[in-house]
A and B are shown apart, each in its own frame.
Chain A
Amino acid sequence: MSVPSQSDSLLISRIRRGEAGAWNELIGRFEGRLLAYIESRVQDRATAEDVVQETFIGFLTSLPNYDRRRPLEGYLFSIAAHKLTDFLRRRQRRPTIPLDSQNSGQGGWQGDGKARPASSIVRSGERRGLERAAIAAALAQQIDHWRRRGQWAKLKCAELLFVRGRPNKEVARRLKISEQTVANHKHEFLVKVRAAVRRQGLPEEVFPELYQGEQR
């Protein structure tokens, strides 16, 4: 799991004090990866450099709101993603995606199956952040467990299922394991994440995919 490094925290403190040298250091440390991220989409070096420039300006203007518990690289990539999205919309390569008109009324989003609409629970941004953090901690623990035990197949399986949303059959074919093994890995993983949700006292209805097809 990506965690803030001590050197990043020190760098941020110096930038917050207005130190030009620290700002120069941050640019030197991160501009190459941001440029590569953006250039892979716009296929034009000069345009990509302009978007990186907007990213750095966006970083400085948002710095008062930056939560230093958040990894710096991830934060910069998220600003770059927003700037890139804005750029592609201006070029009409990316459509603006509205809220779903059928579900954005008073009833709000209707979850699949038995899930209660998440909008029926009023939750602050801070509360949502805590929910995300609790699940992220459970995922980190599980991934670390697989890595320490050399259970790479389980890690690959979960990543294909949940990060890329691939069906069991495709995961089995890619990893050269049986569909039953994929189903077992999936079940074992979901049981652990659900246990984390229960332990932390989190509302089940805001994690609909954990309970899809479950009888509760």
Chain B
Amino acid sequence: MTAPPSQSDLEAYLDEALPPDEMARLEKALRKDHELLRRLSAINTRRSAGAHSLGEIWRGGRMSCPSREQLGSFLLGALPDEAADYVGFHLEVIGCRYCLANIADLKNQQAERCEDVQTRRRRYFQTSAGYLRSNK
């Protein structure tokens, strides 16, 4: 890692919201860097005391995330240039985990065999439906 992680990056790490390669790098660094661990502990303490950060609110509320429809249009190259440029920035530079997951899913939908998807969904349903109950 070239520069020490920012406070916002450490907050995103705790929320499992950094891009996967950066999460892995931080995890590796945490094994020997006690100062990093101390900084993460301080964030937990600050959070438990009730302080907010703009980054947490922005990320958690997905304030600037494009909609799934816009991500689909981005993949099809159907967004206006400036909007497409922003979506590219949000994915590649910001590395939004949630939008990256949506993009990967949209791409997989075209590539995956329908049979495999149905099998997987059936398994999710069968293992969870027992918890379904009326709780109006």
> A residues within 8 Å of B by Cβ?
1-2, 15-18, 20, 23-24, 27-28, 31-37, 40-41, 49, 52-53, 56-57, 60-61, 63-64, 71, 73-74, 77-78, 81, 84-85, 93-95, 97-101, 103-104, 108-109, 111, 117-119, 121, 123, 128, 131-132, 135-136, 139-140, 143, 150, 152, 155-156, 159-160, 162-166, 174, 193, 205-210
**Least CB distance, A162 to chain B, in whole angstroms:** 5
B135 touches A16 (CB 8 A): yes
A52 neighbours in B (Cβ, 8 Å): 124
A95 touches B52 (CB 8 A): no
A193 neighbours in B (Cβ, 8 Å): 54
> B residues within 8 Å of A by Cβ?
6-9, 12, 14-17, 20, 23-24, 27, 30-31, 37-38, 40-42, 44-46, 48-55, 57-65, 82, 85-86, 89-90, 93-94, 97-98, 100-102, 104-105, 108-109, 117, 120-121, 123-125, 127-129, 131-136
**Least CB distance, B59 to chain A, in whole angstroms:** 6
A135 touches B52 (CB 8 A): yes
Q: CB < 8 Å: which of B8, B102, B131, B134 contacts A163?
A: B8
Q: CB < 8 Å: which of B37, B51, B55 contacts A97?
A: B37
In whole angstroms, what is the CA distance A27 to B129 when docked? 11
Q: Once A and B bind, how many residue pairs between them come within 8 Å at the CB atom?
A: 217
In whole angstroms, what is the CA distance A78 to B62 when docked? 12
B82 neighbours in A (Cβ, 8 Å): 150, 152
Contacts A27-B125, A78-B60, A165-B9 supplied; 14 other A-B pairs, CB < 8 Å: A2-B62, A18-B133, A27-B128, A36-B108, A95-B31, A98-B41, A118-B51, A121-B50, A140-B63, A163-B12, A163-B59, A164-B9, A164-B94, A207-B51
In whole angstroms, what is the CA distance A152 to B80 when docked? 13
Best-surrounded residue of B16, B58, B82 (most CB of chain A within 10 A): B16
A132 touches B63 (CB 8 A): no
In whole angstroms, what is the CA distance A153 to B132 when docked? 46
- Chain B residue with minimal CB distance to A193? B54
Interface on chain A toward B: helix, strand, loop, or mixed SS?
A: helix
In whole angstroms, what is the CA distance A134 to B86 when docked? 26
A28 touches B45 (CB 8 A): no
Question: A100 with B38: in contact, given A40-B20, A109-B45 (CB under 8 Å)?
Answer: yes
19 A-B pairs within 8 Å (CB atoms) are namely A2-B61, A16-B134, A20-B125, A20-B129, A32-B108, A35-B105, A37-B97, A41-B23, A49-B120, A56-B124, A60-B128, A93-B27, A99-B48, A100-B44, A132-B52, A139-B63, A152-B82, A156-B93, A207-B52
In whole angstroms, what is the CA distance A101 to B100 when docked? 36
In whole angstroms, what is the CA distance A64 to B136 when docked? 8
In whole angstroms, what is the CA distance A77 to B136 when docked? 23
- Chain B residue with minimal CB distance to A37? B101
A99 touches B41 (CB 8 A): yes
Best-surrounded residue of B42, B108, B134 (most CB of chain A within 10 A): B42
